[in-house]
Amino acid sequence: MNGHGAWLAAGLALALLVGCASTEPPAKKPFVLAGSAAENLLILPFNVTVPMPGKLDADSSVVWDELEAYFQIQGKQLKTVAFRDARRLWIASIQEVRAGKSSATAGFDDAARVLVQKLARHAEFDTVIIPSLFIREAPILQKTASWDGVERTVEIEAIDGETEKAARDVPLEGIAPAASIHAVVLDAGGVKLQEAQGGLELLVRVRALSEASTPGGAPTFRFAERSPVFADRAHLREGIARALSPFLPPLLEQSD
């Protein structure tokens, strides 16, 4: 994983992003329903446990920057670890679980618990967060796509004003590729506190073709890739909030 910024730690050196490191062990604080009291968080790079979709890799740093900002606004202290080392520890955790007596029934939660135990040898933290980006199929109804708790208006691209006007009057239905964020939250012992996901952005817009190029004069529609994908920070914040709630309460009033 590249492009997360210079603050990403080399090796297993964990970098403090917000606030000052304490020489005293953090006090135990309860997990509360309306947002977590945990302050010292270890967040892994995107997609340590699953491959990153190629279409999202180039723009993933934009989501990471917004994710980091979201935690900072919540007053949390962040640590992270280099992708290569986090991936190595994850594979080692899987191998350890598979070698155990209950390997036949072991799953993600078991490997994640072992991973947290390995991370705890190198740093102190209250919580570990494992985020991933992935692609979903978003149903479109009446020019609105809905998936993973969000709605996005489908962008329509037309070559001229007449085609755009005709396209606005045509109801659209179908399936479009869309990006989402998935987050697993674990306590300091590796017990899963929650797992959730939130929609981020559509990967495509709809291109309306000229009436003159189609039989009968009605416009036709095709998908065209959106670039850049993650241009709307409000959309990113909404998806991130859904993936992290109720561990962190949504920020209802924010401005760019």
pLDDT tens for residues 72-83?
Answer: 988 888 999 999
Residue-wise pLDDT for 98-122, tens only, equals 887 666 677 999 999 999 999 999 8
pLDDT, tens digit (0-9, with 9 covering 90-100), for 136-157: 999 999 889 999 999 999 888 7
Mean pLDDT score of the chain = 80
Do the Cβ atoms of 17 and 72 come closer than 8 Å? yes
| Of 5-19, 102-116, 155-169, the least confident | 5-19
Residue 217's pLDDT is what? 60
CB 125 within 8 Å of CB 40 = yes
3-state secondary structure of 199: strand
Q: Using a cut of 0.85, tell me whether the model's pTM lies above it.
A: no
**How far, in Å, CA of 145 to CA of 26, rounded?**
44
Helix axes 108-119, 83-99, angle to 10 degrees: 120
- Reported as type and span, the H/E element at residue 88 is helix 83-99
Distance of CA 122 to the CA centre of its chain: 25
